[in-house]
Amino acid sequence: MKRISLWVFVAATAACVIASIPFTAGGADDEGSPIYGVKIPAGYREWELVNIAHEAGNLNDLRAVLGNAVAMKAFRDGTLPFPDGTIIARLAWKDVPSAENNAVFGRFQSFVTGAATNLEFLVKDSKKYAASGGWGFAQFTDGKPDDEALHKTCFPCHEPAKAHDFVFTHYAP
């Protein structure tokens, strides 16, 4: 029988504990984001996957983009602009090596999700958010909205994606 060394077990356990820190679910009394007033939508974690990505550098994260039903239909059909009612969620976790997986692959190569970093939402309402391309923005850390200074950077950052209705993510079939 193949023995797994104790340190692999300890590292795997630590990774599991770290990975289990959840994104906090939203509720009716929760605070909305500065400027836009966007709250964490109920059930977002169960939405369908749009695509995934990896940010190296200072962010050092693995990220997944999920979409509600309106979003998913638009992504699949290639509809632009996204219709009102579209909500896109961006989840992100620290990118951490997996000792358990590396032991199986026999080399240092495998990275899995560690602690959640922050949670972002794009909400389409072309009237309410006309000044920002029709989108309301929100970023939450540990279930609380980040500050107004951060939220002032959202739309300027997304402006280069204007040709795709300010959305960077495309659908991965």
**Residues contributing to the site for a second copy (CB under 8 A):** 2, 4, 16, 19-23, 45-49, 51-59, 62-64, 66, 72, 91, 93, 95, 98, 100-101, 103-105, 107-113, 116, 157, 159-161, 168, 170, 172-173
Secondary structure element (H or E) that encloses residue 10, with its range = helix 6-19
Comparing C-alpha atoms, which of 95, 130, 120, 129 is closest to residue 109? 95
Residue in this structure with the two tokens 């109920």, named with its chain if needed: 42
Kindly report the number of other CB atoms within 10 A of residue 20's CB atom: 9
Written as six digits, the tokens of 3 are 């023995």
At closest approach, how far in Å is the CB of 8 from a second copy?
9
Comparing C-alpha atoms, which of 156, 105, 119 is closest to residue 135? 156
At closest approach, how far in Å is the CB of 112 from a second copy?
5
Name the residue nearer to a second copy (CB basis): 60 or 81. 60
At closest approach, how far in Å is the CB of 70 from a second copy?
15
The backbone torsions φ and ψ at residue 101, rounded to the nearest 5 degrees and listed phi first, read -70, -40
Name the residue nearer to a second copy (CB basis): 42 or 161. 161
Kindly report the number of other CB atoms within 10 A of residue 24's CB atom: 15
Name the residue nearer to a second copy (CB basis): 15 or 35. 15
At closest approach, how far in Å is the CB of 49 from a second copy?
5
Comparing C-alpha atoms, which of 106, 140, 102 is closest to residue 15? 102
At closest approach, how far in Å is the CB of 160 from a second copy?
5
